[in-house]
Structure 1
Amino acid sequence: MLTFLCAFPALACNVPVFRYALERWQAEPYEAVVFHRGPLSPADRAAVVALEKARDDAHANLNVTLADVDFPLGRLPAKLWKSRTNAPLPHLVVSYQGGATEGLVAWAGPLGESTARTLAESPVRRALAKELLAGKSAVWLLLESGNASADAAAAALIEKELRVQEKELELPPAAPDDPKMRAKLPLRIAFSVLRLPRTDPAEAPFITQLLAGESQTNQPPVPVAFPVFGRGRALAALSGGDLSADVIESASRFLTGACSCEVKELNPGKDLLLAADWDSIFEEALPPEERTPLANPAIPPGLGPETNTVIGASTAGANSAAAANQNFLRLALTSLVALGLFCGAVALWRKS
């Protein structure tokens, strides 16, 4: 299927995917809805203020909405509240609104100031954003399983393969009609790895968000790798047999290759909730018309709908679990259908 779609002609630019995404792909916002009844207490109001500060001061990709359940609710709050009518109030629900995963609940629980402060910020996310803002091609985020030997083996595999790719890959040659790159960051191929302990309390909201929508089993958890690029976009969740040298190479080539003619929303992956001033890479503010995504790369082999990702299953039991990452799969299937229609139209137009 992927070979068939990629056989169609593409209108490409030679700006590497990771740099194009960093400069031009705006991170999709998460929706934080605070369900309450009547006036908020001072403590609850402080929690809401913390959420708003994360959005306004720390540049988190987060929208904040108050929803009094004694009054008619809007479309999204009504949808989220439907399955939570017995939740103690005030109750916070955070959902992802990007692409085919619209409405996916990333985190839900009691409203509290401590939770509000860590919802979009944590030590690992600050380190992640710092690496991306420094111009890294991608940061491989490794969610550890808690099994020391399995985690060490996964980290060693990723590190080894990324060092190979840094030496072997080459950036696409610049073309005269490429979109102008405005950031003064050095353009180079460089990867890094961040390890995320699954039991770290400071990262609990982030880990919940990462695993939102992922299939869960009763098997022991396994290491899961998320290649993150651009403005905090996770390309896929890779575990078990999918966390291999071949897939790491495929992802690396994809991220450092030339972008093509698809729009961002047609690509599998999801934006992470984190606080970062992405526009700080520019010496001057990017004009609004240049913030709209103009191109998006094709789905790399091994990272599309043929990749089944099992999260929470042991490596040995991954095949028996046979559970796929449903959100990435749905988004990838949508991508393929839309891409097929688009590329078919381009092919017909070029023949006419």
Structure 2
Amino acid sequence: MNPCKQSFPSKATALVSVALFSIALVSISWAAVADACQVPVFRYALERWPADNYELVVLHDGPLGDAESKLVEHLRASDHQSSVSANCGVRLIEAATLQDEQLKSAWAKHGKSGKPVLVSLYPVTAQEVPDRLIAAAPLNSESVGNLVDSPIRQEIAKRLVGGESAVWIFVPCGDPKQDEVALGNLTRFVQQNEQSLELPEQEEVEDEQALLEQSAIDLRLDFSILTLRRDDPAEQFLLKMLLASEPDLEGLDQPMAFPVLGRGRVLYALVGKGISELTIGLASRFIIGPCSCQVKNQNPGFDLLMAVDWEKKIGTAKLSDPLPETSAAPVLLTIPPGRNAK
């Protein structure tokens, strides 16, 4: 089987209007196409895109107490070097030695009592997030509790390694009328795409049938929806990761939808009237289209922090080939808005 050489969207940038309507414009780059790989984007992402590591930084002034040390050990027992294999690393930094302005600001705001502060940062490769800082809070059982893992994240992982093309996270705003319309649209158009779209033809892939038989994961077109309530105490860090991923989301009192594929990669947010047939269709066609061999971080989105041993769950039999060493220069395109689109 030849290495994949076809590309797919490589960069998304949201621009929000300050007028009556907020409009997100997403710019996507495509590399030139050589011999197209017929493995769908979602499957290539699952097999070949390791999740980027978050940084969990403990700021402290002096030695940690016993309870605080146990909390740090709890975090380290889940990091990327542990058997839990969460995509994160843990660092301890003395407040007096801080050089990073963002960390200095977090300590100044939350470290006034002199007690340790836990700061969570997006991966350094998450180029599209407006600010790497997700949250800063006193180091305690509450701030550590569901930081690395949560029930919804485990369910997302279960569905993705079970063969689903993508899982849509629906975040209600609390207004029954808005939420009913948005969830109805999301459900209807996700089901419509599931029924009308088709996976790339697989007959061109050498030894395709043998690979499918060896793989532990079925290759199929399958979408689902999970609802994340804003008041769910077990999902507060997941909610923060989603809402902090774009500059304006936390201030919007509208329902939202986030498509997740691969190893927990969120493409972007659809908000309010932007949860439409057009934008859901664009995201769905991207997700199930022929794969790209561009590096992951030249493509839209960011990875969620999840405690999943992806390699173990995926297995060794893979439909895709590794990333080739070279790629062609991108050609910029613009797709319609994903937020508040009519």
| TM-score bucket of the superposed structures, by smaller chain | 0.7 to 0.9
The DSSP-based 3-state class of the residue aligned with 2:163 is coil
Q: Which residue of 1 aligns with 2:122?
A: 96
8 Å contact kept, 2:190–2:223: yes
Alignment of 1:180-329 (within 5 A): 183-216=215-248, 221-284=253-316, 290=322, 307=337, 309=339
Any idea what the Cα deviations from partners look like across 1:271-293, whole Å, max 9, x if unmatched? 1112112113344498xx95899
Shift of the alpha carbon at 1:6? 4.9
The DSSP-based 3-state class of the residue aligned with 1:206 is helix
8 Å contact kept, 1:43–1:113: no
Cα distance, 1:266–1:278 mapped onto 2, change above 3 Å: same
Compute the RMSD of aligned alpha carbons: 3.5
State the AA in 2 paired with 1:236. Answer: Y
Q: Which residue of 2 aligns with 1:344?
A: none
State the AA in 1 paired with 2:192. Answer: V
8 Å contact kept, 1:15–1:172: yes
Q: Which residue of 2 aligns with 1:33?
A: 57
8 Å contact kept, 1:226–1:237: yes
Any idea what the Cα deviations from partners look like across 1:302-351, whole Å, max 9, x if unmatched? 7x6x6364xxxxx6xx99xxxxxxxxxxxxxxxxxxxxxxxxxxxxxxxx
8 Å contact kept, 1:141–1:226: yes
With the length of structure 1 as denominator, give the TM-score of the two structures: 0.75
Cα distance, 1:278–1:217 mapped onto 2, change above 3 Å: closer
State the AA in 1 paired with 2:149. Answer: E
The DSSP-based 3-state class of the residue aligned with 1:39 is coil
With the length of structure 2 as denominator, give the TM-score of the two structures: 0.78
Cα distance, 1:299–1:7 mapped onto 2, change above 3 Å: closer
Cα distance, 1:217–1:117 mapped onto 2, change above 3 Å: closer
Shift of the alpha carbon at 1:212? 1.1
Shift of the alpha carbon at 1:213? 4.2
State the AA in 1 paired with 2:90. Answer: V
Cα distance, 1:229–1:246 mapped onto 2, change above 3 Å: same
Cα distance, 1:294–1:274 mapped onto 2, change above 3 Å: farther
Cα distance, 1:40–1:203 mapped onto 2, change above 3 Å: same
- For 2:104, which of 74, 82, 102 is the aligned residue? 82
Cα distance, 1:293–1:121 mapped onto 2, change above 3 Å: farther
Instruction: Name which of structure 1's ranges 83-92 and 4-13 shifts more when overlaid on structure 2.
Output: 4-13
Cα distance, 1:237–1:201 mapped onto 2, change above 3 Å: same
Equivalent-residue separation in structure 1 for 2:91 and 2:158 (angstroms)? 29
Equivalent-residue separation in structure 2 for 1:44 and 1:105 (angstroms)? 22
Q: Which residue of 2 aligns with 1:334?
A: none
Equivalent-residue separation in structure 1 for 2:255 and 2:238 (angstroms)? 16
Shift of the alpha carbon at 1:130? 1.1
Q: Which residue of 2 aligns with 1:165?
A: 193
The DSSP-based 3-state class of the residue aligned with 1:121 is coil
Structure 1 residue ranges without an equivalent (≥5)? 310-314, 320-352
Structure 2 residue ranges without an equivalent (≥5)? 1-24
8 Å contact kept, 1:96–1:105: yes
Shift of the alpha carbon at 1:251? 0.8
Asked whether 1:68 is paired with 2:100, we answer no
Equivalent-residue separation in structure 2 for 1:185 and 1:235 (angstroms)? 22
Cα distance, 1:293–1:190 mapped onto 2, change above 3 Å: farther
- For 1:127, which of 128, 143, 155 is the aligned residue? 155
8 Å contact kept, 2:171–2:256: yes
The DSSP-based 3-state class of the residue aligned with 1:186 is coil
Equivalent-residue separation in structure 1 for 2:241 and 2:251 (angstroms)? 20
